[in-house]
Amino acid sequence: MPCLGLCGDARYGRNVMARDPLPIAWLDTPAADELPDEVAAEIGPIAERIGFVPNIARLLAVTPHHFVHWWRYFDDLMRGPSNLTKTQREMIAVVVSAESRCPY
């Protein structure tokens, strides 16, 4: 029975049952100089400092409303009031990314 990309192990980028690559969805994302105004206003200062627009910003810029709310939530988690230091928060993010096999 064909898998149609609905089974297997996406963490390894392949369908482990059929040993075929998983189908890849394609979504056009705006280039850094084509970001909607509200997205550019939020991510612009960060992008200037690090020298690029993170892919997550370009992806969520497809629906600017979602990006703005996600970015403000992320910013609050990383910089808002907490008993954790910024370094501790960053280390938690690194461990979660590593466990999720996320390249970021």
Percent of the chain with pLDDT over 90: 52
Q: Residue 11: pLDDT above 80? A: no
Mind listing the pLDDT tens digit for each residue in 44-87? 998 999 999 988 899 999 999 999 999 999 999 999 999 999 99
- Dump the DSSP string for 26-60: ------GGG--HHHHHHHHHHHHHHTS--HHHHHH
**Per-residue pLDDT at 2:** 37
> Would the pTM count as exceeding 0.75?
no
Structure tokens at 35: 């970001």
Question: At CA 34, angle to CA 60 and CA 64, rounded to 5?
Answer: 30
Instruction: Extract the tokens encoding 78.
Output: 């990383």
- Burial class from Cβ neighbours inside 10 Å (0-12, 13-18, 19+) for residue 1 reads exposed
